[in-house]
Structure 1
Amino acid sequence: MIWCFLTPVLGAVVAEQYLGRVKTILYSAAIYGGGLAILVLSSLPAVQETVISLPGLLLSLFLIGVGTGGIKANVSPLLAEQCTSPGQVIRLLKSGETVIIDRELTVQRVFATYFLFINAGCLAALASVEIEQSYGFSAAFAIPMTVFIIGFIALMTSKDQYNSSAPDGSIIPSVLHALGITIKHKGNLNCTRPALEPVESRYQEYPWTNSFIDDLQTALSASKVFLLYPFYWAAFSQLLTNFISQAATMQTHGIPNDILPYMNPITTLFLLPLLDRLIFPTVRNLGYPVHHFPRITAGFMVCALAMLYAAFFQRTIYVSPPCYDHPRSPTCMHGQVPNDVSVLLQVPAYILVASSECLASVAGLEYAYANAPKSMRSLIMALYLSTVSVGTFLAMAVLPLTVDPKITWMYIVLAMAVFGAGAALWSVPVQRKEAG
Structure 2
Amino acid sequence: MPATAYSHILLQFLDEASFLWERYNAALTAPHYNPVKLAELKERLEAQLDGLRSCEDDGWEALAKRICDKPVTGEIFTASVLAIDSADTNRIDTILNAIIKPDHALELASALSWFPFNKTRSLCDTFLESSSLLLQFAGLSAYAAFREPSPKHLYATLDSKDLLLRSCALKMIGELNLTDKLSIVKAHFSDENPLCAFRAAWSAALMGDKSALQVLLHFTDTKFNFADEAAMVAIRKAGLNNGPALVHELTKNPYKIRFAIIGAGALGDISNIPWLIDMMKQKPHSRIAGEAFSTITGLDIVNLHMDTDAPEDFEETPNDDPADKCVDLDADYFLPWPDLNKIKAWWNEHAVEFTPNTRYLCGKLICKADLTHLVNNGYQRQRYAAAIELMEFQAGEPLVETRLRTEN
Please give the range of the TM-score, normalised by the shorter of the 2 chains: under 0.3
Q: Which has the higher contact order (CA 8 A, sep 6+)?
A: 1
User: TM-score, structure 1 length as denominator?
Assistant: 0.22
User: TM-score, structure 2 length as denominator?
Assistant: 0.23
**Which of structures 1 and 2 has the bigger CA Rg?**
1
